[in-house]
Amino acid sequence: MFELTFGGGTVMKKIIVGITGASGTTYAISLLKALHDLPDIETHLVMSKWAVKNLELETDLTLTQVKNLADQIYNINDQGAAIASGSFLTTGMVILPASMKTIAGVAYGFADNLIGRAADVCLKERRKLIIVPRESPLSTLHLENMLKLSQMGVEIIPPIPAFYNHPQTIADLVNHNTMKLLDALGVRNEFSPRWQGDQNER
């Protein structure tokens, strides 16, 4: 895991966030907000064309507001971007929500846009890559593609809600997924209540 040390010895983690056109843009926004509030995190954001459309359909946020949550923003077609090269050191990448098209492209190295290329870089450089798949039901082909990625070390974290913490709002459900992503990235957080064990007498 690569980190950047700067003034005063603070350790900076560079994390790529790729947002694709699957439904569930709110999960990505939640993660971006959480990372934005951490001074030792530098976020590099790439959004597909359909991710931008889903932002409009699923949220009240503008594209500018979302971009303001990231430190660096890249065009989806910019194959010359810093994150397209393995020599640009990053901690890793999260693709969320991850469309089945993007997952298939990553699984077979079809880096036809910057999200696919940045993911391909993480694979070849053995850096952390997290996929948050958003589709239901899953076909055999979808499952085979995710299995292929898992066997290459990719972490698959579906946005499945938990109910042991008695969520009261949609935000509570989304925050639980954000907590799991931050955990996977090695970022300390208490973004959502954690399981403390069954306290009932048996």
| Residue pointed to by tokens 């509570």 | 172
195: in domain: no
190: in domain: no
Separation of alpha carbons 117 and 94, rounded Å:
13
* pLDDT band of 11, cuts 50, 70, 90: low
Residues comprising the binding site for FMN? 21-23, 48, 99-102, 134
Residues comprising the binding site for dimethylallyl phosphate? 164, 180
CA distances 200 to 12, 115, 166, 176, 196, Å, are: 42, 47, 16, 23, 11
pLDDT in tens, 88-138: 999 999 999 999 999 999 999 999 999 999 999 999 999 999 999 999 999
Residues comprising the binding site? 21-23, 48, 99-102, 134, 164, 180
Average pLDDT in the chain: 91
- CATH classification at residue 32: 3.40.50.1950
199: in domain: no
Domain that holds residue 103: 3-184
65: in domain: yes
30: in domain: yes
The 3 state secondary structure assigned to 65-115 is HHHCCCCEEECCCCCCCHHHCCCCCCCEEEEEEECHHHHHHHHCCCCCCHH
How many domains does one find in the chain? 1
Instruction: DSSP letter for 139, please.
Output: P
